[in-house]
Amino acid sequence: MANFQGQTSPTSMLLNNNELNQEISRLKGEINRLSEENRQLKTTINDTALSDTQSTDDLNNPKAMKMKINFLEKTIEQLEKERSELNMRCTMAEEQLKNFQEMFNSTTQGYQKKILELNKRLEASNLRLNQEYLSGMDN
């Protein structure tokens, strides 16, 4: 919805603001979930590595160990990349929310000034009408 000065209405800005807050909350929850999953995977990797180093099969098969290490390194890299992307999306959503809030405040101030100006004009008009009415009664 456009209004004076081509800005978005406060109502639609509030909706956008609420939507951004919900998106930020959702992204933060997803980051927390992925961080916890990453931590659990690292623990699993460490536990697996400890049990594997004690296993005579793996000690005698360096090729199998190398394959496991490569798989685990790729998994960690993928999870870190996903966490980084989610963190970036969250940061962008927070910046967008900040911009919407600034625009909302600016628009609200503009409306308040316009309302004040219209109230002054209305008072001046009422005063002029009262004076005309009173001067008409004098005649």
* Residue 120 located in a structural domain: no
Residue 138 lies in a domain: no
Q: What tokens appear for 46 in the block? A: 């460490």
Residue 29 lies in a domain: yes
Distance from C-alpha of 133 to C-alpha of 139, rounded to nearest angstrom: 10
If you average pLDDT over residues 72-79, what whole number do you get?
95
Is 74 within a domain?
Answer: yes
pLDDT category of residue 58 using cuts at 50, 70 and 90: low
Q: Which stretches within 10-55 are classed as H helix?
A: 10-54
Residue 59 is assigned to a structural domain of this protein: yes
CB 82 within 8 A of CB 9: no
pLDDT of 26-56, one tens digit each? 989 999 998 898 888 888 887 776 665 555 5
Q: Name which residue leads in pLDDT, 25 or 4.
A: 25
**Rounded to whole angstroms, how far apart are CA atoms 28 and 33?**
9
Tell me the pLDDT tens digit for each residue of 89-138: 999 999 999 999 999 999 999 999 999 999 999 999 988 888 888 887 76
Whether residue 87 is contained in a domain is answered as: yes
- Give how many domains the chain has, as a whole number: 1
- For residues 63-91, average pLDDT: 94
Q: Does any domain span residue 1?
A: no
In a domain, 119, yes or no: no
Q: Please indicate whether residue 18 or residue 72 has the higher confidence score (pLDDT).
A: 72
Is pLDDT of 71 > 90? Answer: yes
Domain range spanning residue 49? Answer: 6-110
pLDDT at 68 over 70: yes
